[in-house]
Amino acid sequence: MLDVVRIGADILARKAEPLLEFNDALKETIAHMFEAMARDRGIGLAAPQVGIGSRFFVVSIDGDQPRFFANPEIVMTSEEQVDYEEGCLSIPGVYAKVKRSAFVKVQAYNERGRPFVLEADGLLARVILHENDHLNGVLFVDRLGDAKRARLLAEYERRLRI
Ligand code: NI
């Protein structure tokens, strides 16, 4: 079982490297990531969050098929943005509204290394953008104003000490 890395770990602040090998080891890692995500009741999990500095993530939203994205490129986002409350398995207990594009077009590779293009809106678009941020070393709290980010993280640290 994979452990989820928490905020403060270097790997969460680094840009991940392209995924080059689509092999059996990857399939096993993906399976473990889906397990870890289900255990922690998440809907998305990026490789850096389990200590792997590669560009891939998994998504599992109720009512939708489980999804895998490797080396994603966001090729289009809508100008229209929506505010929605987000959390992250790497910052447990912290939630805040984040503004993101309502629609996204993403190009990526599946677990066999085959390319695909997906257009998404609603929660799926949001999760794709959140997880893609992880591959660039960006957490959702980094998209908040400095004061709000500092306040939420101070609360988080205080809770850790109790
Ligand atoms: Ni996250």
| Residues 133, 9, 47, 53, CA torsion sign | positive
Residue 1 pLDDT > 80: no
At residue 94, the pLDDT reads 97
Tokens of 53: 């500095």
Give how far the C-alpha of residue 100 lies from the chain's centroid of Cα atoms, to the nearest Å.
Answer: 14
> How much is the pTM?
0.97
Of the residues 35, 86, 131, 155, which is catalytic? Answer: 131
Residue 162 pLDDT > 80: no
Q: What is the CA radius of gyration of the chain?
A: 15
For 66-90, the pLDDT digits (tens) are 999 999 999 999 999 999 999 999 9
pLDDT band at 96 (very low <50, low <70, confident <90, very high): very high
Give how far the C-alpha of residue 34 lies from the chain's centroid of Cα atoms, to the nearest Å.
Answer: 13
**In the chain, % of residues over pLDDT 90:** 97
With helix as H, strand as E and coil as C, how does 41-108 read? CCCEEEHHHHCCCECEEEECCCCCCCEEEEEEEEEEECCCEEEEEECCCCCCCCCEEEEEECEEEEEE
Count the helices and strands in the chain (H runs, E runs): 3, 7
Distance 44 CA to ligand 1 centre (A): 7
For 19-33, the pLDDT digits (tens) are 999 999 999 999 999
Chain-wide mean pLDDT for the chain?
A: 97
Residue 146 pLDDT > 90: yes
Q: Catalytic site residue 131?
A: yes
Distance 88 CA to ligand 1 centre (A): 4
What is the helix (H) or strand (E) element at residue 117, kind and residue range? Answer: strand 115-121
pLDDT band at 161 (very low <50, low <70, confident <90, very high): confident
- What would the mean pLDDT of 128-148 be, rounded to a whole number? 98
> Considering only CA atoms, which of 115, 83, 75, 119 is closest in space to residue 100?
83
Distance 6 CA to ligand 1 centre (A): 10
Distance CA 162, CA 152 (A): 16
At residue 60, the pLDDT reads 97
